[in-house]
Amino acid sequence: MHERVTIRPADLSEVEAIASMWQETSKWLHSKGVDQWQYPADEEKITRDVTSGTAYVVTSAGKYLGTITVDENADPEFWAKKDLPTEAIYGHRIIILPHARGKSVGATVLDWASRKAEKAGKRWLRVDAWKTNTELARYYEGQGFEHVRTVDLPHRRSGALFQREAGTITGAGPGFLGLESPLHEPDGTRSTEGQWGWYAG
CA distance 128 to 137: 10
> What strand order describes the sheet that includes 158-165?
146-150, 158-165, 124-130, 88-96, 63-71, 55-60, 4-9, 175-180, 196-200
**pLDDT in the model for residue 179:** 85
**pLDDT in the model for residue 190:** 54
**pLDDT in the model for residue 167:** 96
DSSP, res 43: H
CB neighbours (10 Å) of residue 20?
A: 14
DSSP, res 183: P
- Whether residue 115 contacts residue 178, with contact meaning beta carbons closer than 8 Å, is answered with yes
**pLDDT > 50? residue 98:** yes
Decide which of 3.40.630.30, 3.90.180.10, 2.60.120.650, 3.30.420.40 is the CATH code for 4-200. Answer: 3.40.630.30
Per domain, the residue ranges of the chain are 4-200
- pTM attached to this predicted model: 0.90
**pLDDT in the model for residue 186:** 47
pLDDT tens-digit profile of 49-95? 999 999 999 999 989 999 999 999 999 999 999 999 999 999 999 99
The whole-number average pLDDT for the span 186-191 is: 52
pLDDT tens-digit profile of 108-158? 999 999 999 999 999 999 999 999 999 999 999 999 999 999 999 999 999
Per-residue b or e along 77-97, where b marks 16 or more CB atoms closer than 10 Å to that residue's CB: ebbeeebebebbbbbbbbbbb
pLDDT > 70: what percent of the chain? 89
Would you give the distance in Å from CA 190 to the centre of its chain?
21
Give the model's confidence band at 180: pLDDT under 50 very low, under 70 low, under 90 confident, else very high.
confident
Packing angle of the helix pair 43-52, 15-31 (nearest 10 deg): 130
**pLDDT in the model for residue 191:** 55
Give the model's confidence band at 4: pLDDT under 50 very low, under 70 low, under 90 confident, else very high.
confident
Strands 124-130, 88-96: parallel, antiparallel or unpaired by DSSP?
Answer: parallel
- Whether residue 11 contacts residue 20, with contact meaning beta carbons closer than 8 Å, is answered with no
